[in-house]
A and B are shown apart, each in its own frame.
Chain A
Amino acid sequence: MQIPILRLGQEYHSADLVKLNDGLVTHTANPGLIQRDLLRIGEAKAALDAIPAETLADYCEAAAELFMHADLPCGDETQGPDDYVESLSALTRLPHTLVRMNMGKIHAAMSQIRTVIGGLTRGIPLEMFDRGITSVDGLDVNFYPATESLGVSLPSNAPAGNSLWLPALVMKIPVLLKPGREDPFTPLRIVQAMIQAGFPKEAFGYYPTTHEGGDTLLTSCGAGISFGSDVTVKKYAPFKSIQVHGTGRSKILLGDDFMDKWHDHLDVFVTSIAANGGRSCINTSSILVPAGRDEIAEAIACELAKIEPLARDDENALLCGFANSDLANGIDGMIEGLLEDEPGAVDVTARFRSGERKVEAFDQIYLRPTLIACEDRDHPLANTEFMFPFASIVEMPQEEMLGHIGETLVVSAFTENKEWAHELMTSHLIERLNIGPYPTNRVQWEQPHEGNLFEFLYRRRAIQGNLAVAM
């Protein structure tokens, strides 16, 4: 299969090819090609502007079904949903179960696009995207697009991350996508579903490209979204137009008032750590408890250790293999090294699992779930994140937790203590807050995921005078 570039909807065959496996070749865009396409971005914007936002939302809902069920163009072939699942699983080593779960999330984001956008705009009618002006609770409000394009550099390890950029199209902002090297399929399948549903093809750029091409895409579009590590965050920090979804360091904070009922929510701990193969930024990577660290750790570790590697197509598979064995070796080596060299941390899961953390099975390498109990709250493993089910557990008084967490994508605070909940709600360190025993990977579509795409793409302007002219 050959997957070409889409230059504002037009297929383009590059002279630079990347062979991903025996049957799959992607075409690589050079950075200048992306910049050149941006010269024509006005045409893409005009094509979206010509269609009412309500219609675009209808298209998006229809595209959800096509994405989930239809045979869609994929380069020079057609790809059905089952082909998509197997192809993506073969490249990323996500088991079929997790690919399907991610498909479900993307489907939900598309089919509930009105709810998603309503959540982002706090209920502003979609007509605002047609006219720029609308009335909210009797007040006239005017928003204007801050950019004519959104560039997105996507990850390979989290197909559902694509749900982040979807609303941009209904908000009439063209998107230029750089797929993750090992997931060329998901963004392309979404794009093809949207085009088949009625979106103008000019609204989409799809550019498998190099790191340099990714930089160009992000810095040349009026707005950019990237996914990555702390290094990525630092790299793009000077660019106000680029929003980086970095390391999540998501956490569960156990309140004093839940000390006698944490047993009832053991499944929430395990799901938070292990769902989606532990690969998401919204997976829990650290648990803070006010007391009973070792008892809680043992209970969670015992459950985590039951998750064993299974074949990619096993319907009970939860763990992902590593396409890059060097990465697995590196992660395992780093954990072992830190446990050995830095006192104050123990791998609790080691006692419960049936072998080493790193295991070769079903022709690939897996890392088994790992829970590290840290006596030292500042241990290097106490607040870190890896691409497999990994978490630390640390004991500290409840009143010290907020001062300790640092920037955290998701906090699930197991508490009914109003005063503490209020403190958490007013903290600038937490991006998303679940109050109560909810998994950190819980998604509610009316709430923004990370950052608010509408606020990123649109600015509000004061507007006064004879507004009848504008209405």
Chain B
Amino acid sequence: MSSSLTVEEARAQVDAHTREMIEWHFSPETGCPYWLDWAKEAGWDPREKVKTFADMLYFDNFDDEVLRKEDPARFIPKAYEGRPYNVFETGGTTGMPKQRIGWDDYKTDYTEFSEHYGPDFFPQGANWLMVGPTGPRRLRLAIEHLANIRGGACYFIDLDPRWVKRLIGMGEMQMAKAYQEHVIDQAVTIIRHRDIKCLFTTPRLLESLSLRMSLADAGIRGVFAGGTTMTPQYVKFIQEEVLEGKINYAPTYGNTLMGLAISRKREPGEYSLTYYAPQPRAILRVVDPKDSTKTVEYGDYGRVELTTMTKEFFVPRFLERDEAIRRPECDEFPWDGVGDVRPFQSGTKTVIEGVY
């Protein structure tokens, strides 16, 4: 789906949205205790200084430890007071989890995702199966919402990534493998006995599932995957062999703080993925790891920096634990994209990634 905006219009939209969100989060009438107190301590008023997205550089990089330490209730904007809210936690974290609260953001994100793909990519009215981390995660509600707005129901098979991470950390590789098989067993049972046409899962679970059954023969028509690194070869393999070239495939990049970034359409034989943040609600920049005020050149790897600005939640310049290639705008998304995302410094450090 082509965007109706030009690059300049998209930029202006982000600038206008930035002003609106800064006003919202730093006004005593609408803002939350955490950010209002922060502004008092910082000694400057973002409403005076931040007029465009470029002015976000007045903020330092957000320290995500805040999301472990602070009571999530301190992030309730005044305008939302009294409304019940969801508490979401990040994926594979062990120890005290990072938490964020939310109301309707996930619905906004996934409705937009649904509209982007139109009625046929994931057949309208079809039932979904989500195989992956449910529990306190935003994704669990989001996928159900996606299925529901497309006229279907959603089945769930849970996988606890924190337990898998702990098993791997303890060297219990066999147990981790057995747990994964347990998850796949359940998924196979649901696919065989219920009318499922769409799947959400992680690339690795998708692979494992396809070793047990032909997903195309089982009636699957669309797969939405995310959660771990997908190298070009991974994408090629999934499309050609796991999905047998017969199933629509939507790889995405997302997390609890951002929502989800859709990957742009690729030409036949093109396997490198480029994701685009759901602007203006979230903006991704690819920055120099040594100086996060600067973006890297197009085509170069840098660290992924996220800014989320919705009425429900504000996070400025959070450095993700990922790196990516900075890619230019495209027909569908007239703003910068992030390509071939992988764990930050994965070339030099051992990272337990893609545990599920």
Contacts and interface: CB of A to CB of B under 8 A. Distances in A.
Interface string A279-323: 000000000000000000000000000000000000000000000
Nearest to B232: A15
A15 B171 contact: no
Contact of B232 (A16, A39, A212, A215): A16
Interface string B212-251: 0000000000000000000111111110011000000000
Interface in A1-45: 14-16, 28-33, 35-36, 39
Contacts, number: 48
A33 B240 CA distance: 11
Contact of B171 (A31, A39, A219, A235): A235
B174 A238 contact: yes
A352 interface: no
B161 to A, nearest CB: 16
A35 B207 contact: yes
B231 A30 contact: yes
A28 B233 contact: yes
B237 A33 contact: yes
Interface in A216-247: 219, 234-235, 238-239
Interface string B154-183: 000000000000000001111001000000
Count class of interface residues, chain B: 20 to 34
Count class of interface residues, chain A: 10 to 19
A246 to B, nearest CB: 15
B229 to A, nearest CB: 10
Given A15-B231, A15-B271, A16-B231, A32 B174 contact: no
B173 A239 contact: yes
A15 B207 contact: no
Interface-central residue, A15, A31, A35, A212, by most chain B CB under 10 Å: A15
B73 interface: no
A15 B233 contact: yes
B211 interface: yes
B207 A32 contact: yes
Contacts of B237: 30, 32-33
Contacts of A35: 207, 211
A195 B322 CA distance: 43
Nearest to B234: A30
A39 B271 CA distance: 25
A408 to B, nearest CB: 25
Interface string B129-163: 00000000000000000000000000000000000
A215 B355 CA distance: 13
16 contacts: A14-B236, A15-B231, A15-B236, A30-B231, A32-B238, A32-B241, A32-B242, A33-B233, A36-B211, A36-B241, A39-B211, A212-B354, A215-B173, A238-B171, A238-B174, A239-B174
The list of the 10 closest CB pairs from A to B, nearest first, reads A15-B232, A16-B233, A32-B207, A15-B233, A15-B271, A15-B236, A14-B233, A16-B231, A30-B233, A30-B234
Given A14-B236, A32-B207, A238-B173, 18 more contacts: A14-B233, A15-B231, A15-B232, A15-B235, A15-B236, A15-B272, A16-B231, A16-B234, A30-B233, A30-B234, A32-B204, A32-B241, A33-B241, A36-B211, A36-B241, A212-B354, A235-B171, A238-B172
